[in-house]
Structure 1
Amino acid sequence: MENDPNELNRVDLQVQDHEQVGSVALCSMLHRSNLLAVVGGGVNPKFSEISVLIWDDARESRDPKHKLVLEFTFTKLVLAVRMRHDNLEKQLLVFPGHKCGSLQLDLSNTKPGTSSAPFTINAHQSEIACVALNQPGSVAASASRKGTLIRLFDTTTRDKLVELRRGTDPATLYWYTPGSAISVDGTFHKYVFTPDGNCNHEAFDVYLDICDDDDF
């Protein structure tokens, strides 16, 4: 998103608010609340690409910095952000490993009073571009810079569960949820699993128009 983020009502797509925070790479809302997670990026960022900012839109101020509640800073680019209301039963951190195409899973806080080193999953041959977790944190999904495959892994056993093909042409995945993916060319891919374990893949070629001069 090269422009400042807008809040939209997804029923009628009416702009509810607009903030001058520079261009952003990621923006996630905590359900339909006033809390937003923002990661800087694009051509005119005001905030770092390695930091996650928790934003309280209910605070009345003309200075965007006065709406900042929390800031989390990491050593590498933030690839995905997800917020939830309830407390996590276990803390799970998934991030790109030192080896190209690998994922590291940190399960050190799954049991109080215990610790263990992060373990590695060799997920792809190319650099990791997109990472996502399902709601309980039992499955991790990843895609590489090549963008033709999405792979799902069991976070406990490290086994590969399934491999989903996005397409034959390379494309960067901007967003992935357990059942769908959006890539840089604007295509939307939907994956539906049947009770017998088969996967039906639907692709929508003209779902989004993603370009440098998007005007939201």
Structure 2
Amino acid sequence: MVTNDNIAKNKSNPALTKEHYLFLNETLAESYYKIKIYSEVNNLKYQNLKVHGSVMSSNGIISLHFNQDHGCFTVSTESGLRIYNVEPLTQKLYLSHEQVGSVAHVEMLYRTNLLAIIGGGSLPRFDEKAVLIWDESQKDVQKKAVMDITFSQPVVNVRMKTDRLIVVLRNQVHVFTFPNNPHKLDSFDTRDNPKGLCEVSSLGQTLAFPGPKCGSVQIVNLDTAQPGQSTAPVIISTHQTELACLALNQRGTLLATASKKGTLIRVFDINTKKKIAEFRRGADPAVVYCINFSHDSEFLCASSDKGTVHIFAVQDMELNRRSTFKTMGFLGTYVESQWGLANFTVAAECACICAFGPSHSVIAICVDGTFHKYVFTTGGNCNREAYDNFLEMGDDLE
């Protein structure tokens, strides 16, 4: 166990300003851990350059993740990692196998110079039991790996905020201060969590991860986390079966969940812990890969192994379709749930992540290397606006 005295002192981080951006959109508990710091983290910079879980594809893709504002996405592969901008679709960063090895997971800190990397795949350079912090703004290649935190068991997920680092193990979630002078604030025990389910609100301070009981979710307010003081999470019972996916809206006031059955998506008000909506993805069981709220929390999208991306209205639920058999009460909850406002299809059984873009658009990124952009209307129409293969794109050298 490391204490503050064992950690090298770094300079405090200044307030973020626009000129510091790195990946700027051109169009706009008790387990063992050890922290090693190799060099100082540069000031956070933003300059030109979120499948929940890992799915190996034939082209070497291990996992896909959006960043916090859904304007970029990371691709972890057997041959390194790639970062892409969404609007317009351009490759912004490629780190080769020689630089980072095979990678299981990459987490961006918004569009800054800092990346959190978890080694994995067939030829990893970094330990699967560690989170490595990579500072792309460092000019010296040998100094880009600025920090790692090593645990006694494999790391299955990591989340970042400008002042917090959240590390997910199969049975625990650890919260650290970040990025300078890091130290552990709190640890939470979870139910077995092999997919590393964990979400943190990008604008609020809400952290969500599986609870101790089947189908439950723990909610933590990161503002209350203090060194040496344990925080009691709020527990919300969401499903009777194991969780498959969860999501928070940007302000951390709404929680969406899907179980391993995959037929229903439920939305809860975090303040009251009450269910406010129940959306039906379909009648047959499915693997739900991803759920995301729109930035204004008006809509929700979800993808599954059925090859369909569903769009639901969260605020004005009258926009959603309902079963024509709703008046036949003997059919039960099947007809009482709301069906989607709109949907579109990608390749069936091809894992993909989905998120909202600008102007009622939805982006789907698939492990077969395809990029899909659809625009929907409140009347239920959904039309394709863009399609591409991001793996065939080169670096944006402008």
Same fold (TM over 0.5): yes
* More helix by percentage: 2
Residues 82-93 of structure 1: pairs in structure 2 closer than 5 A: 84=202, 88=204, 91-93=205-207
Q: 2:285 aligned with 1:170, yes or no?
A: yes
Residues 14-163 of structure 1: pairs in structure 2 closer than 5 A: 14-19=90-95, 20=97, 21=100, 22-25=102-105, 27-38=106-117, 46=126, 48=128, 54-60=133-139, 66-69=144-147, 71=149, 72-76=166-170, 77=193, 78-81=196-199, 84=202, 88=204, 91-107=205-221, 109-110=223-224, 117-163=232-278
Provide the TM-score with structure 1 as the length reference: 0.73
Contact 2:207/2:222, CA 8 A, preserved across alignment: no
Q: 1:14-53 deviations in whole A, cap 9, x for unaligned?
A: 323222342435x4434433333445666766554x8765
Residues 169-188 of structure 1: pairs in structure 2 closer than 5 A: 169-178=284-293, 179-188=300-309
Contact 1:108/1:115, CA 8 A, preserved across alignment: no
Count of equivalent residues: 208
2-side partners of 1:135 and 1:14: how far apart? 25
Q: 1:70 to 1:168 in 2, by over 3 A?
A: farther
Radius of gyration: which is bigger?
2
Q: 1:38-91 deviations in whole A, cap 9, x for unaligned?
A: 45666766554x87655433334656x94355654334242245574x6x4xx3
2-side partners of 1:44 and 1:187: how far apart? 33
- The unaligned stretches of length 5 or more in structure 1 are none
Contact 2:197/2:245, CA 8 A, preserved across alignment: yes
Q: 1:75 to 1:23 in 2, by over 3 A?
A: closer
Partner amino acid, structure 2, of 1:56: D
Partner amino acid, structure 1, of 2:113: N
1-side partners of 2:110 and 2:217: how far apart? 28
What is the CA distance between 1:197 and its match in structure 2?
4.8
Q: 2:6 aligned with 1:6, yes or no?
A: no
1-side partners of 2:123 and 2:287: how far apart? 20
Q: 1:159-199 deviations in whole A, cap 9, x for unaligned?
A: 01111122223222222111212224443222234646543
Q: 1:100 to 1:41 in 2, by over 3 A?
A: farther
Q: 1:207 to 1:60 in 2, by over 3 A?
A: farther
Contact 2:290/2:302, CA 8 A, preserved across alignment: yes
Provide the secondary structure at the position in 2 that maps to 1:135. coil
1-side partners of 2:118 and 2:225: how far apart? 30
Q: 1:116 to 1:32 in 2, by over 3 A?
A: closer
Provide the TM-score with structure 2 as the length reference: 0.43
- The unaligned stretches of length 5 or more in structure 2 are 1-60, 63-76, 150-165, 171-192, 294-299, 321-339, 353-365, 370-390, 392-398
Identity %: 37
What is the CA distance between 1:146 and its match in structure 2?
1.9
Q: 1:194 to 1:81 in 2, by over 3 A?
A: closer
What is the CA distance between 1:143 and its match in structure 2?
1.2
Q: 2:270 aligned with 1:191, yes or no?
A: no
Contact 1:95/1:103, CA 8 A, preserved across alignment: yes
For 2:374, the equivalent position in structure 1 comes to: none
RMSD (Å), alpha carbons: 3.7
Contact 1:51/1:74, CA 8 A, preserved across alignment: no
Contact 2:247/2:256, CA 8 A, preserved across alignment: yes
Contact 1:185/1:210, CA 8 A, preserved across alignment: no
2-side partners of 1:18 and 1:80: how far apart? 26
Contact 2:132/2:147, CA 8 A, preserved across alignment: yes
Q: 1:115 to 1:66 in 2, by over 3 A?
A: closer
Provide the secondary structure at the position in 1 that maps to 2:341. strand
Partner amino acid, structure 2, of 1:17: L
